[in-house]
Structure 1
């Protein structure tokens, strides 16, 4: 499924990660979920590229193109928890990998041109797009089922996995007209409702939250509960609410990155 993508790499401050690039137009960074760049993540990235954007898809965990299995997901979760570039329990600070992602956004903007860059994070990477707003080129942040910090306790259920400085930057940008889009299933225990309540409280009308009933999720999903709005829990048929949510993400990119 990656045959249409250029397999390359991006290095920042000595840290190099694999990168898959496809398309022309303004840049959109697609940050995968656990366990990695699965076929369903590639399907969503294809839709973004086909809509007229240049997709940059970094590999942070796992093996690119490998289908999800319970064992594969478990091994990726273990890797996520022990690697220093991810702070899975941090409420008021972001993961160190977001510094690398901000550098990637600058690189992608310089290469692709246009008004700015979009980014969509999923699951463990969901809130990374908020931290990436410290980079001025990042103009279209999307948070799909943001799951960090792990929702252990009331404080973490409501936390946004950003530092006070990053949150102040996001709020300032939103006050000046920027927007943030979020997606979740209403019954998702990994992305509890308190998290979107925090986003609405902090960002006001600048935050657009799409919250779907669990009953509209893909019944053939390998996930034990509806979680991945844009990938395995999506029903790939027009008119299905999950497919319409994916279309809304793409229209958000158009509004923020293509509109005059």
Structure 2
């Protein structure tokens, strides 16, 4: 991760490590469980190289590492009981999303432009939607949003908050992109149906066939995930013509269309 600048960013009185790289409009990329892996960093580089400044906060795990199955499981357990996150129950956003909204405001001040993009994955998937409660974030991408873990149809946001976001989407003619694999055990069709009902035509969903997922995966995913899951990271097949590459390219085009408007 030598090509990212490691910064301590203080927002709302709380310091967190954020990896920053690139130039152009800001995009906040939030890692999947169990942390900022080489696969997550690779995706961040693709976004950076497309003409954006990437802000990648360290929210859990060991940055830059391919973690073992046991180490990743330990990160998962610690995160589930952390006061920053709300892994179970649904109906409320994780407290850390307030800090992430403040990060988006800082990124907008530093980079300028019309707004900030936000991409969440797995544990952080819905964070990108919650960030739209703040006017700084104008382009949100939800990759396999997996919380709450105990309710396949639940979403990690309150009814009042998602209603506020829906009104904003209507008012500003904004869309939210969302991705999942068809057989994903952690982000199932029921959850996308709930988003669809709440956000209407502004919820632009993509469901990839399980056959599009890479089979050779790191130890944590091999032992604990066991289904196609990570659309633009671990399960992405880096070959032209692959559905996962098409998803990556669509996300970049979406960001470019929203963040580079005059």
CA RMSD for the aligned pairs?
Answer: 1.0
1:77 positional shift: 0.6
Q: 4+ residue stretches of structure 1 with deviation over 6 A?
A: none
- The within-5 A match list for 1:136-215 is 136-150=135-149, 152=150, 156-176=151-171, 177-215=173-211
- In structure 1, stretches of 5+ residues that fail to align are none
Q: Distance in 2 between matches of 1:71 and 1:30?
A: 25
| TM-score, length of structure 1 as denominator length | 0.96
Q: Distance in 1 between matches of 2:40 and 2:68?
A: 14
Aligned to 1:27: 26
- The within-5 A match list for 1:33-182 is 33-150=32-149, 152=150, 156-176=151-171, 177-182=173-178
Q: Distance in 2 between matches of 1:220 and 1:241?
A: 17
Aligned to 1:255: 257
| TM-score, length of structure 2 as denominator length | 0.95
- In structure 2, stretches of 5+ residues that fail to align are none
1:210 positional shift: 0.7
Q: Distance in 1 between matches of 2:207 and 2:49?
A: 26
Residue correspondences, number: 255
Q: Secondary structure at the match of 2:152?
A: helix
1:159 positional shift: 1.6
1:165 positional shift: 2.5
Q: Distance in 2 between matches of 1:5 and 1:79?
A: 26
Q: Is the 2:232–2:244 Cα contact (8 Å) retained in structure 1?
A: yes
Q: Secondary structure at the match of 1:160?
A: coil
1:82 positional shift: 1.4
Q: Is the 1:133–1:169 Cα contact (8 Å) retained in structure 2?
A: no
1:69 positional shift: 2.4
